[in-house]
Amino acid sequence: MGEYEQFSFKGWKNETVYCYIVKPADFKPNKKYPVAFLIHGGPQGSFGNMFHYRWNPQAYAGAGYACVMVDFHGSTGYGQTFCDSIRGDWGGKPLEDLQKGLAAALKRYPWMDGKRVGALGASFGGYMINWIAGNWPERFKCLVNHDGNLDERMAYFDTEELWFPEWDHLGKPWDKKADYERHNPVNFVKNWKTPMLVIHGALDYRVADTQGLATFNALQRLGIPSKLLYFPDENHWVQKPNNSILWHETVIAWLDQWLKK
């Protein structure tokens, strides 16, 4: 198990944003460690003191990684204004907070190796991985996208939960086309260059599996090193123990391939 710390930094518009880090197991301060940069879902979510079945930083700490987790604008627990601030701005404030948070963590903890950083996210975090791939393409050595949207307009029509797009994108896509397209990852696929592991469940009705398959197709056609892990018996989560073991083995092996070798 790794030790955790929390610190704050100046994010979007110099507002206070919080970040957790978890040290690698058997931490040695004079050693440089690769970094797992975890991005939570929601976006109305938060990193907290919980033992999560999917994005559990202790799994990465145990594998020799430093973990960095930013509670960017849109996160819960910091007041309604902070949470609501990303309406119509999915790719704006959160990305700026993630950029500034990672920079702050690397400056604060010199034992983190800023040249060996991988970013991982699911749901909104998966959307953000696709957004990062097109709008922050030089930063990461590898990416992991679990259940993330590629096309926000199409995602409106194939999700079982319409509250999220109608609230966060300020309406319906036929009335608010510009709001759906402004921060739509599919419009920046031409900029992709980072190796990506794509994971999806066939029974995911929140983010339909066509979004993950489309992401993988784009990576393959662009000639970007990529891998698809597809679960025919999982939904928006990975709930079966054997599947979870495979999930963690595959994700950590992907990080090891690009950050340790």
Residue type at 91 in one-letter notation: G
Residue 66 CB burial class (10 angstroms; 0-12, 13-18, ≥19): buried
Could you say which of 89, 97, 179, 204 is catalytic?
Answer: 204
Whole-number Å distance between alpha carbons of 170 and 215: 25
Catalytic-residue membership of 236: yes
Whole-number Å distance between alpha carbons of 55 and 58: 9
How many residues in the chain? 261
Is 251 within 8 Å of 54 (Cβ atoms)?
Answer: no
What's the N-to-C CA distance of the chain in angstroms? 23
Could you say which of 97, 123, 146, 183 is catalytic?
Answer: 123
Three-state secondary-structure class, residue 37: strand
How many CB atoms lie under 10 A from the CB of residue 223? 8
How many CB atoms lie under 10 A from the CB of residue 175? 10
Q: Which residues have CB under 8 Å from 78's CB, separation 6+? A: 18, 71
Supply φ then ψ for residue 19, to 5 degrees: -145, 135
Nearest to 209 by CA among 173, 160, 137: 160
Catalytic-residue membership of 183: no
- Strand 33-39 vs strand 66-71: parallel, antiparallel, or unpaired? parallel
Residue type at 48 in one-letter notation: G
Active centre residues (catalytic)? 123, 204, 236
